[in-house]
Amino acid sequence: MSARADDWPQWLGPNRDGVWRESGICRELPQKGPPIRWRTSIGGGYAGPAVAEGRVFVTDRLLVPGQQDPDNPFQRGRTASIERVLCLRESDGKVLWKHEYSCAYTISYPAGPRATPAVSDGKVYTLGAEGHFFCLAIDDGHVVWSRDLKQDYRIRETPVWGFASHPLVDGEAVICLVGAEDALVVAWDKQTGRELWRALSAQGPHGPGYSAPILVTAGGRRQLIVWHPAGISSLDPATGELFWQQPFPVREGLSLATPRVAGNRLFVSAFYDGSLMLQLADDRPMASRLWQRRGANERNTDALHCLISTPFLDGDYIYGVCSYGQLRCLDARDGRRLWESLEATGATGSGTDRWANAFLVKHEDRYFLFNEKGELIIAKLSPEGYREISRSQLLEPTGTAMRRKVVWSHPAFANRSIYARNDKEIVCASLAAP
C-alpha cells in the first residue's frame, strides 16, 4: 500500500505494525493536555479511524428511531440500524460526505462497526459489523463496488461479535476474512471487486474469528498470515495457496489480537488460551513452535492472555495487556514474565477489571498508550519496567462493558496529531513539538 509518510491509511498505520514514524512530536504532553484541533459528532462504534490524502475516514452506527439494543450486551437481538461511512476534512473535521445503508444488528456488543477502513489509490475499503463490504471513491463517496458477505458467500449467521477483521490492501488486491465454509479468506481485485481467490475453511459460530491478516517476508517468500479460531495459516498472497499452518485452537473463537512479527519470530495471544510463539524458517516458507504458555485460566494467567489490545513485539521483548488490565513485559525467547503494571490501564487488581485495556503505539524510543478510560499516556517501556512520562484525558469513556464505562477504539496517529473516537464524537488533538 502506498501512502504519505504522515498518513495512517489502515489498521496499525502505514506498515500495519503499530509504529508511528513521524518526526517533530512532543516529548511530553502539555500540562493542560494536547491542543484540540477539532471535534466532530459521530455515532457508535469500535472501528478506529484511517487518515489519508487530507481526509479522515471513520465508520459508525445509528439506531433507527424507536429501536433499542438489548440491556445485556451479550444478548443477540435484532435491532434496525443504519451504518455509515464518514469522510471528514483533515484540517477541521468537517463532514465532506457520508455513505449510509440500512443494517439490522444481530450481534453481541452491538455498539457499531469494528473494522478500521483501508485507503489506497483514491478509494476507501470498509467492512461493517454485519458483513457489508464497500469500495468507495474518496472524492465523493460513490460506490465503486460492494459485497454483502453473508449473502454472497452463503453465511447463515453473523459471527457472534460481528465481522471485525480489518481489510488489507496488497498491490492490486484487497483481502478480507469472510468466514464461509469454503472461503475463510477472500481476495478481490481492488478496482472491480472481481474475486481473485478464496482459501481455507471456516466452521462454527465465530466464522473466521476476529483478527486482522498481515503480510510478512520470511523464508524467501511474501506470506499472508491469517490467525483464525483453529490456528495460524500462511498463504501466498498472490494465489491463496497454503504454505504452512500451525494448530492453535482457541476458546469462543477469540482469535482477535493481530499477530506480531519481529525478525523471524511470529507471536499470537488469546484471552483464554495464552501465548504462542512461532519460529519462521530462513530457507523456505515454514514455521515451527518456539514456545507456548498458558495459565490455569483467564484469571490465573501465564505469559500474556490478550483480548482487545494488540501486543507489541520489540526485538527480544513483548509488551501487551493481559486479561485483567495487567501491562506486561515478556522475554520473547521463552515467554518468561519480566514485570507487570496496572498503572497504564488503571485496573484495580481486584478481579473486577475483566478486559481492561490500553492500545500501544511505538514512537522512536517511547510508546503512546490510549487506555479505555480515554486517557493518552506517553511512557517508556523497557525490560526494566514501566516509566510514565505524562498523561492527559482526551475522550470521555462512553461505552459500557462489565459495569464500567470504556473506550475500545484504536486511535490513529498522523499529521503530528492523534485521532480518537468514542460513541459520541471523534477528536483530533495536536501532538506536535512546541
Provide the pLDDT for residue 74. Answer: 86
Nearest to 261 by CA among 238, 278, 249: 278
Are 141 and 134 in contact, with CB atoms under 8 Å apart?
no
d(CA 86, CA 83): 10
Q: What is the DSSP string of 105-144?
A: B-SSS-SS--PPPEEETTEEEEE-TTSEEEEEETTT--EE
d(CA 34, CA 117): 25
Provide the pLDDT for residue 363. Answer: 98
d(CA 293, CA 332): 12
User: Which are the contacts of 393, defined by CB distance < 8 A and separation ≥ 6?
Assistant: 33, 373, 374, 375, 376
Pairing of strands 358-363, 168-170: unpaired
Domain membership of residue 383 (yes or no) is no
Domain membership of residue 53 (yes or no) is yes
- Domain interval for residue 25: 1-152
* pTM attached to this predicted model: 0.97
Are 264 and 218 in contact, with CB atoms under 8 Å apart?
yes
Mean pLDDT by 10 residues, the chain (434 residues): 72 98 97 97 98 98 94 89 98 98 96 98 98 98 98 96 98 98 97 98 93 98 98 98 97 97 97 98 98 95 95 97 97 98 93 93 98 98 98 96 94 98 98 96
Domain membership of residue 266 (yes or no) is no
Provide the pLDDT for residue 286. Answer: 98
Domain membership of residue 8 (yes or no) is yes
* Cα dist from 360 to 320, 357, 363, whole Å: 8, 10, 10
- In tens, the pLDDT along 119-154 reads 999 999 999 999 999 999 999 999 999 999 999 999
Domain membership of residue 40 (yes or no) is yes
Domain membership of residue 66 (yes or no) is yes
Provide the pLDDT for residue 73. Answer: 85
C-alpha cell at 1: 500500500
Are 22 and 6 in contact, with CB atoms under 8 Å apart?
yes
Nearest to 221 by CA among 290, 175, 280, 288: 280
Domain membership of residue 54 (yes or no) is yes
Provide the pLDDT for residue 204. Answer: 87
d(CA 414, CA 211): 24
Are 146 and 134 in contact, with CB atoms under 8 Å apart?
yes
d(CA 387, CA 329): 13
Instruction: Judge residue 310's burial from the number of C-beta atoms within 10 Å of its C-beta, 0-12 exposed, 13-18 middle, 19 or more buried.
Output: buried
CATH code of the domain covering residue 55: 2.40.10.480
Backbone angles phi, psi at 252, to 5 degrees: 55, 20
Provide the pLDDT for residue 115. Answer: 98
What is the number of structural domains in the chain? Answer: 1
Domain membership of residue 56 (yes or no) is yes
